[in-house]
């Protein structure tokens, strides 16, 4: 009886020792694999031959951490590249009017002709205004980023009224470009609970984009479901460019009083209030749709 019990105990010890050895082997494999995967540019995950539930659970959690780390690394790399491109683009956009200002100041210093001086001052004023618009756009975007996770003051908002007010505020700029907007706003009140300031900024940015890039027309509509559309001719615009319209710092045309942040701000704010912004191209007509 004693020998039988001792035999069973010995077998149990051997089995436990073998299991412990396999667990330690699996843990070593996990440690080695994690170190390799952490510093390699690959999407493969950790795998272990062990059938132990705890070891497999540990491997699963480590794989989750690897996925998260890779996502963060990709975001960092994309963000770093985006910032470099943005700095280059913004530097160019600011340098262009600044160079013109310096050049015309030099011309003024070389002439006493009142007509020429007036013409040069007019150009300087125009370029200074361009720089002002660029810097203001950058400032607005920095404010939006700083408050990205902080929604504006929320209340019941009549979307019809906000859109009408934004169109009215943009009317002088539209008229200056010879654009008579075709407006079709539902007579039925469209009420939403959101930040009126965010909603107004979305509409204003989309109208401002149309002022800068429209081919000569603009149609604005709002239906009873809360869907607003901004449609205008956009000759020369391609489908690839449309897909990038909401990218930060992307501009279809360089040095045109824009950092390319207006549409990106509109999308950021739309998502913050629970809406969406999208764009599609049909022939030469660009339509931006806002769903609130």
What value does the mean pLDDT of the chain take?
A: 79
Cβ–Cβ < 8 Å for 156, 119: no
Mean pLDDT of 127-131: 81
Q: Are strands 191-194 and 219-222 parallel, antiparallel or unpaired?
A: unpaired
Exposed, middle or buried: residue 290 (CB in 10 Å: 0-12, 13-18, 19+)?
buried
Q: pTM, whole model, 2 decimals? A: 0.56
The SS3 of residue 132 is helix
Cβ neighbours for 226, distance < 8 A, ≥ 6 positions apart = 159, 190, 192, 291, 292
> Which tens digits make up the pLDDT trace of 150-184?
556 789 999 999 999 999 999 988 998 899 999 99
> If we measure between CA atoms, which residue out of 263, 163, 161, 148 comes closest to residue 203?
163
The SS3 of residue 56 is helix
Instruction: Give the start-to-end residue ranges of the domains of the chain.
Output: 89-146, 155-291
> Which tens digits make up the pLDDT trace of 8-63?
666 676 676 667 677 677 777 777 776 666 666 666 776 666 667 777 777 778 77
Confidence of residue 190 (pLDDT cuts 50, 70, 90): very high
Q: Are strands 219-222 and 276-282 parallel, antiparallel or unpaired?
A: unpaired
Tell the CATH topology of 89-146.
Helix Hairpins (1.10.287)
> Which tens digits make up the pLDDT trace of 236-280?
777 777 777 776 655 555 434 444 567 878 888 888 888 999 988
Tell the CATH topology of 155-291.
Heat Shock Protein 90 (3.30.565)
Give the separation between CA 280 and CA 231, rounded to whole angstroms.
Answer: 10
């Amino acid at each position: 009886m004693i020998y039988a019990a001792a035999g069973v105990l010995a077998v149990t010890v051997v089995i436990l020792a073998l299991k412990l050895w396999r667990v330690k082997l699996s843990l070593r494999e996990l440690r080695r694999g994690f170190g390799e995967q952490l510093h390699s540019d690959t999407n493969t995950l950790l795998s272990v031959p062990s059938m132990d539930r705890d070891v497999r659970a540990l491997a699963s959690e480590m794989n989750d951490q690897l996925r998260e780390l890779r996502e963060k690394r990709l975001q960092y790399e994309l963000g770093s590249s985006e910032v470099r491109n943005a700095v280059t683009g913004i530097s160019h956009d600011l340098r262009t009017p600044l160079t013109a200002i310096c050049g015309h100041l030099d011309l003024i210093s070389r002439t006493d002709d009142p007509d020429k001086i007036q013409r040069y001052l007019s150009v300087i004023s125009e370029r200074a205004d361009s720089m002002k618009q660029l810097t203001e756009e950058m400032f607005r975007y920095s404010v939006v980023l700083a408050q990205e996770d902080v929604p504006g003051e929320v209340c019941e908002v009549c979307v019809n009224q906000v859109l009408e007010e934004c169109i009215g505020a943009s009317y002088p700029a539209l008229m200056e470009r010879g654009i008579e907007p075709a407006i079709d706003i539902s007579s039925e009140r469209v009420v939403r609970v959101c930040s009126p300031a965010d909603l107004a900024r979305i509409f204003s940015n989309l109208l401002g984009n149309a002022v800068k890039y429209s081919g000569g027309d603009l149609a604005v509509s709002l239906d009873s479901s809360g869907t607003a559309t901004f449609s205008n001719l956009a000759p020369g615009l391609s489908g690839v460019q449309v897909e990038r319209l909401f990218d930060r710092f992307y501009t279809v045309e360089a040095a045109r009083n824009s950092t390319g942040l207006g549409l990106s701000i509109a999308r950021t704010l739309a998502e913050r209030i629970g809406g969406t912004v999208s764009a599609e191209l049909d022939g030469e007509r660009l339509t931006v749709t806002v769903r609130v």
